[in-house]
Copies of this chain bind each other. A is one copy, B any other.
């Protein structure tokens, strides 16, 4: 469904959010441990999230990654996915046709339309806040 990079990116953003609630910045090392991902690769993905204004970074001593507490509720899953995988998951053709629309549909166009729209709505309506709060309360998990 998502690329490995995107999976890591989503989990990293959630973890950073949980720590940001407590006013703490985190390092790629700590993130990688908490989400069970390769550290250097995760650091690369964090750069993409920084460029796309999902997380912010502070260089130098006592630096690290954080998310403005007041923004956690307005960041949507779709922003994270878009920053890493683009919008092909819900905008591209299910069978890879270059043009696939009502006028020139691929064989599964109609069948996929509803599912992909549901996926899109879900990503756009799911906030980083609810995902982070569920981690903090122990309702869901970032690894194993």
Q: Interface of A with B (CB < 8 Å)?
A: 1-2, 4, 7, 10-11, 14, 77, 89, 92, 94-99, 104-109, 111-112, 114-115, 118-119, 122, 126, 131, 134-135, 139-144
Cα distance A95–B105 when bound, in Å?
A: 30
A112 to chain B, nearest CB (A): 8
Which residues in B have their C-beta under 8 angstroms from that of A2? 94-95
A106, A119, A144 — which one has the most chain B CB atoms within 10 A of its CB? A106
How many whole Å from A141's CB to the nearest CB in chain B?
A: 6
| Inter-chain contact A134/B115, CB cutoff 8 Å | no
Are B144 and A97 closer than 8 Å at their CB atoms?
A: yes
CB-contact partner of A107 in B111, B115, B119, B142, under 8 A = B142
Residue pairs across A and B with Cβ atoms less than 8 A apart, 25 shown, are: A1-B1, A1-B89, A1-B94, A4-B96, A7-B96, A10-B95, A11-B95, A14-B107, A77-B108, A97-B141, A97-B144, A98-B144, A104-B141, A104-B144, A105-B139, A106-B142, A107-B131, A107-B135, A107-B142, A108-B126, A108-B131, A112-B122, A115-B115, A115-B119, A115-B122
